[in-house]
Structure 1
Amino acid sequence: MGFIDNLFRTKPMEVIHAEERKEELPRELGLIDLILIGIGGTVGSGVFATTGDIISSAAGPAAFLSWVIAGVSCIISGFAYMEMSSIIPSSGSTYAYSYHILGELPAVVAAWLLTLEYGMSGSGVARSWASKVQSWIQEDLPTNSTKVDWLNNEESYSFLACMVMVMSVVILLMGIKFGKIFINTVTTTKICVVIFIIIAGFSATKSSNFTPFIPPRDDENNRFGFQGVMLGASQAFFGYVGFDEVCCLAAEAKDPRRVMPRAVIGVVLGTAFLSSFASLALSAIIPYNALKAGELYFSSGFQYAGMQWASTIVHIGEVCTMPVVVLISFLAQPRLMYAMSVDGLLPKIFSRVEKNGNLFWCTLISGAFFTLVALFVPFSYLWNMVSFGILVSFNMTNSALILARTRDSSAHIVYKLTGAMVAISCLSMFLFEKGYVEAVGPADTYLGVSMALLAVVFMISTFIFIKCPQNAAPMGCYRAPFVPFVPTLAITVNWYLIAQLPSRDIGFGFAWIGVAIVSYFVYGYRFSAGKDGWATMLAEGFHGLNSVRPSMSSMLNEKNGPILSAKQALPNNEH
């Protein structure tokens, strides 16, 4: 195979099935476990960590709309995850889907984007938790006291964040069976705390706090107005990471083809309800501009409303349940690295499974790295990068869905059409946001060009629908509605939300993708299991297979010959 063929080599379903039959990881997770893991990983990272900042520094009381918009976007992207997770019930989520559909290099990029969503977000929530603990301790100390500053310095180091990250790693080293019992217990408690916040907040509502519901635009501070609502929606994606993490655990789910789609929609709907109404409850008890950005929390909101008892309950709830968000966010990271290691894209130590089915060394090594991130990297540097990673990975999954439906009959054209659609959609939304919405002078040309490009996007989608026949639904698998139109809409909305992010953070996100590409050429390109056509995997007792799928570039050139015949796949004594 040539250089380009290697970069875009796709992982065949035969190999995915062979890995699935090995079942190195124990299937311990049922539907309720997955939903509680997903909600536990979202309600907390969003509600406790970011709601106050979205209200005070982005959308005002209309933060409720920000959460709803982000939730709707997650639902339309969630359709793609529901179908892809039922077709490919493997560890890795977007990484696994990208490897099967888009190619090897895109899969590595997806894995690095998911690392932002899993490990980095876990470290970020650890920093947020540390700040809350510090502020609570300082409330009982004399004004301007610095006695506890050594525990958590928001701009440099945080021993508190390091501590909670270490605790999360230790719990996961005990195995998924113990971890799920701990997570289910704490998540149930957390849901009760959020419901208490909603009820207590609405009981003390002051209607004047909702006026104006969408505050006037403040261009100097880049907040409020409709643009602020959309910025808040892009930031709210930090609070919706759970359903993607659930997909990453598919290899440990019982009957994954049946339960994964249900778990995804359950997590998104549950998170959307709890997060949006908790945000509305906070706006109900305190004016959006009463406290500076970084000082508005549920506890401070209840204190402002004179409900000290409620503030104390919420403080206890936040401090005791937020650490489980760190645990759940990090939970998916070793599974992602395990999947990459099985494919030869990371050293073999990351795929070493203990007798009890635990990923001990992978958890320990990755945990040590992200503990250092929690110790030294401020939360403010992580928040928007995590949102960037989530949104781009959403787009990769939506693109994979379109291609999964159509490439068997139209590989020679559908890859080009889908790639053009994604690129034009990105250009359209960035021209609209950066060229028109954020312009300080006349910018009607940017608006006209962006709308023309948007029309082209949906023309391409319509052409794919008409000219590229879709394959039949695999038996027992979920089928997403209105493909390719819903995935195209999701991709466009996600690009628009990415365009809301500050240019600095978008630049950091693309730099992260650049590091991912470099890492692939340093290690993955040389040691990929796909270089020998996955001969080792197919020879480990899984016979009777036909051939693996050619690379994406080979399909584009209509070179559909088999890469590895069944005879080549078998051991010598089986020929």
Structure 2
Amino acid sequence: MASFFKRLTIKEDASVYQEKDAHMAQVLTVKDFIALGVGTIVSTSIFTLPGVVAADHAGPAVSISFLLAAVVAALVAFAYAEMSSALPFAGSAFSWISVIFGEFFGWVAGWALLAEYFIAVAFVGSGFSANLRALLEPVGVVLPSQLTNTFGQNGGFVDIVSLIVIVLVAALVGRGVSEAARVENALVILKVLAILLFIIVGLTAIHTKNYVPFIPEHKAGTDFGGWQGIYAGVSMIFLSYIGFDSIAANAAEAKNPAKTMPRGILGSLLIAVVLFVSVALVLVGMFHYSDYAGNAEPVGYALRRAGHGVIASVVQAIAVFGMFTALIGMMMAGSRLLYSFGRDGLLPAWLGKLNDKNLPNNALLVLTIIAVILGAFAPFAQLAQLISAGTLIAFMFVSIGIYALRPREGKDLPEAGFKMPFYPVMPALAFIGAFLVFWGLNSEAKLYSLIWFVFGVLVYLVYGMNHSLLQKRHKDNK
């Protein structure tokens, strides 16, 4: 039994990852990573969540919810910045935790992230489908229900738009990171311009009375109003900020990662926070927060009601096509995570193979197939809770991992190009913040994460441990 537990904590040698990932093209710059981060973080949620959270939980104090969620995200982002600059390997938390805590703990962190990428890609694909169809219906383009609903839902067979968009983005990512980055950069600029357009136009329609009271009184027995409502809003909103993991997952393809990774992670998060808080403040200032109850497109609604119908259509159209940016970021990150599992033998080695362009397209193919099945055929709305839960688990691992990383830097591990400030206090605050957000998720999210965790442990014990290249090397060296 003692030897079994010892096997769980065998640590990977960082030089092994460095050698295996060296074949990947190091072409991504700070500009590319900021676009990747902003594109993934500032997804469609910026056009929906501020209104939803304001109406259901926080009222005008939705901006405080966004700020508090951003504080927690920033604390974790500092940990990510140090980890990625010291250990610039594909797979982000999986690879880092395997090096500093051991393979089993790395698997748990990586497995938690895998749920995020599988479901998030499908989730955004379905969101793209719904929003594109809503844009086309006023001009008479209506698809039959069999091709717009998932299998068994309202007479549906397949969400054909979701299927097509996921396959198209996979084809783009499969051509190479440089090509994907160019498209990402252009679409992110367009999306940010659309957000700025809403903010500028919306400022002309603000009524200060809508901000009073800024923190509505708490309604007993509910999670609306007071600090209870703000806290409930934080757990909902945090989903929007988790996209910086998509930057870290591509660390093996960064130019000068010691500097590039921290700047990309922290820079993209800073831009995202400013945009989210600005949109939230403008939105609740234009109309009373209760007007956004049950509204799936509050930004478009506010613009139209304020007499800016044309601008509303422009912003919504850009928002729809801007969803490509989130898909690009998540498919790049998810395929690199799957590649790293195959690279280490924890999943079939075929996943860890690079093609003649040194791209992990086998892993990309598997990610695409699973995302298409989820997004085009399966009713999975409740599973979206796993996106936040899985990522928060990985965030807690990375935050606490700084305590194991710091003493080894400059010794058996490279010196980090960026140091998490206020050590040793800040890593603890990051861990506590991520835990509190996780605790604020609903019971379904916690249940699904437990089921996914148990399934992942079984996969590791039955397959991963017996095929692990690290375990084989350790056995041979005895």
Q: What letter matches 1:321 in structure 2?
A: G
Which residue is 2:134 aligned to? Answer: 135
Q: Structure 1 pair 258/295, CA: closer, same or farther in 2 (3 Å)?
A: closer
Distance in 1 of aligned mates of 2:433 and 2:330: 25
Q: Structure 1 pair 119/331, CA: closer, same or farther in 2 (3 Å)?
A: farther
- CA shift at 1:475, angstroms? 4.0
Q: Structure 1 pair 284/243, CA: closer, same or farther in 2 (3 Å)?
A: same
- 1:522-541 aligned at under 5 Å gives the runs 522-533=462-473
Distance in 1 of aligned mates of 2:432 and 2:446: 16
Q: Structure 1 pair 524/147, CA: closer, same or farther in 2 (3 Å)?
A: closer
Is 352-361 or 214-223 further displaced after alignment?
Answer: 214-223
Distance in 2 of aligned mates of 1:136 and 1:495: 39
Which residue is 1:510 aligned to? Answer: 450
Deviations 1:9-42 (CA, angstroms, capped at 9, x unpaired)? 111223233335xx22111101111111111111
Distance in 1 of aligned mates of 2:231 and 2:130: 26
- 1:324-339 aligned at under 5 Å gives the runs 324-339=325-340
- 1:553-568 aligned at under 5 Å gives the runs 564=477
* Counterpart secondary structure, 1:46: helix
Distance in 1 of aligned mates of 2:49 and 2:360: 31
- Measured on the aligned residues, the alpha-carbon RMSD in Å equals 2.5
* Counterpart secondary structure, 1:55: helix
Which residue is 1:521 aligned to? Answer: 461
- CA shift at 1:254, angstroms? 0.6
- CA shift at 1:497, angstroms? 1.1
Distance in 2 of aligned mates of 1:245 and 1:308: 35
Distance in 2 of aligned mates of 1:221 and 1:359: 47
* Counterpart secondary structure, 1:241: helix
C-alpha contact 1:338 1:362 (8 A) present in aligned 2:
yes
- CA shift at 1:471, angstroms? 7.8
- CA shift at 1:272, angstroms? 0.7
Which residue is 2:389 aligned to? Answer: 388
The answer on 1:259 being equivalent to 2:199 is no
Distance in 1 of aligned mates of 2:344 and 2:107: 11
- 1:203-352 aligned at under 5 Å gives the runs 203-218=204-219, 222-352=223-353
C-alpha contact 1:258 1:476 (8 A) present in aligned 2:
no
Q: Structure 1 pair 96/81, CA: closer, same or farther in 2 (3 Å)?
A: same
The TM-score with structure 2 as length reference comes to: 0.92
Structure 2 gap segments, 5+ residues each: none
Q: What letter matches 1:233 in structure 2?
A: V
* Greater relative CO (CA pairs within 8 A, separation 6+): 2
Distance in 1 of aligned mates of 2:448 and 2:254: 34
- CA shift at 1:495, angstroms? 1.3
Number of residue pairs the alignment of both structures matches: 472
- CA shift at 1:532, angstroms? 2.5
The answer on 1:84 being equivalent to 2:83 is yes
Which residue is 1:17 aligned to? Answer: 18
Match of 1:496 among 427, 431, 436: 436
Which residue is 1:37 aligned to? Answer: 36
Distance in 2 of aligned mates of 1:493 and 1:90: 26
Q: Structure 1 pair 167/58, CA: closer, same or farther in 2 (3 Å)?
A: farther
Which residue is 2:174 aligned to? Answer: 173
C-alpha contact 2:117 2:334 (8 A) present in aligned 1:
yes
C-alpha contact 2:50 2:280 (8 A) present in aligned 1:
yes
Which residue is 1:74 aligned to? Answer: 73
Distance in 1 of aligned mates of 2:210 and 2:129: 29
Q: What letter matches 2:50 in structure 1?
A: T
- CA shift at 1:365, angstroms? 1.8
Structure 1 gap segments, 5+ residues each: 409-469, 536-562, 566-575
- CA shift at 1:522, angstroms? 2.4
- CA shift at 1:3, angstroms? 0.9
- CA shift at 1:221, angstroms? 5.3
Distance in 2 of aligned mates of 1:476 and 1:97: 13
Percent identity reads 25
C-alpha contact 2:14 2:413 (8 A) present in aligned 1:
no
Deviations 1:420-445 (CA, angstroms, capped at 9, x unpaired)? xxxxxxxxxxxxxxxxxxxxxxxxxx
Q: Structure 1 pair 216/384, CA: closer, same or farther in 2 (3 Å)?
A: farther
- CA shift at 1:258, angstroms? 1.8
Distance in 2 of aligned mates of 1:263 and 1:136: 33
- CA shift at 1:482, angstroms? 2.1
C-alpha contact 2:43 2:326 (8 A) present in aligned 1:
yes
* Counterpart secondary structure, 2:112: helix
Distance in 2 of aligned mates of 1:36 and 1:534: 41
